[in-house]
Amino acid sequence: MTVDVSVRQAKPQDAKEASQLIRQAIIEFCIPCYQHIPEVLTRWLRNKREQDVDTWIRFAGHYCVSAVLHGNKSRRNKPQERVIGFAIVNKRGKVTVCHVHPEYVKHGVGSMLLNQLERQAQAWGLNQLVVGSPENARQFYLNRGFETHGEGCSEGELTDYPMVKWLSA
């Protein structure tokens, strides 16, 4: 399947679709790694509502990007857009969110999001990106040049693996 996707800075009107895709990605890809424990799902989803994503987009300390699928024009002859990926990096270089709608995983969308975050981090003069990766995403980050940086850190049933990617000047 070929997709017409671009990555741009997120807009407040992306919050609804972004929150929906984040929640769906967590439910489909992350929770199975934790044996479908209801408490884990509740904890992981608690701050992934539309109003939370809207706050992230508007916060000056974050750079948020949306991967947008371009489709046919609407009845009003406006191009249709659908948010299929969303990611955030903060001004310290920490990737705090990176999710792709399950229908578009393994189509390069996650890489496009990370590439944009990397460019922004370099524009800020940073020399690294860091992420706390859940088990199911570790290989994705390794394939994109991240290295494991220490032992996994657990918070209850959730384990994040610290990873770093050194950026070129």
Write out the chain's pLDDT in tens, 169 residues: 556 899 999 999 999 999 999 999 888 876 656 666 677 777 777 888 999 999 999 999 999 999 999 876 555 555 688 999 999 999 999 999 999 999 999 999 999 999 999 999 999 999 999 999 888 888 999 999 999 987 655 555 566 789 999 998 6
Q: Which DSSP string corresponds to 71-84?
A: EEE-TTSPEEEEEE
Length of the chain: 169
User: Six-digit token pair at 83?
Assistant: 């948010």
Domain architecture of the chain: domains with CATH: 5-166 (3.40.630.30)
Structure tokens at 130: 């860091």
Identify the helix (H) or strand (E) that includes residue 38. Answer: helix 38-45
Distance CA 140, CA 142 (A): 6
Q: What are phi and psi of 145, to 5 degrees?
A: 90, 5
Instruction: Kindly report whether the global pTM for this prediction surpasses the value 0.85.
Output: yes
Backbone phi and psi for residue 119, each to the nearest 5 degrees, phi listed first: -60, -40
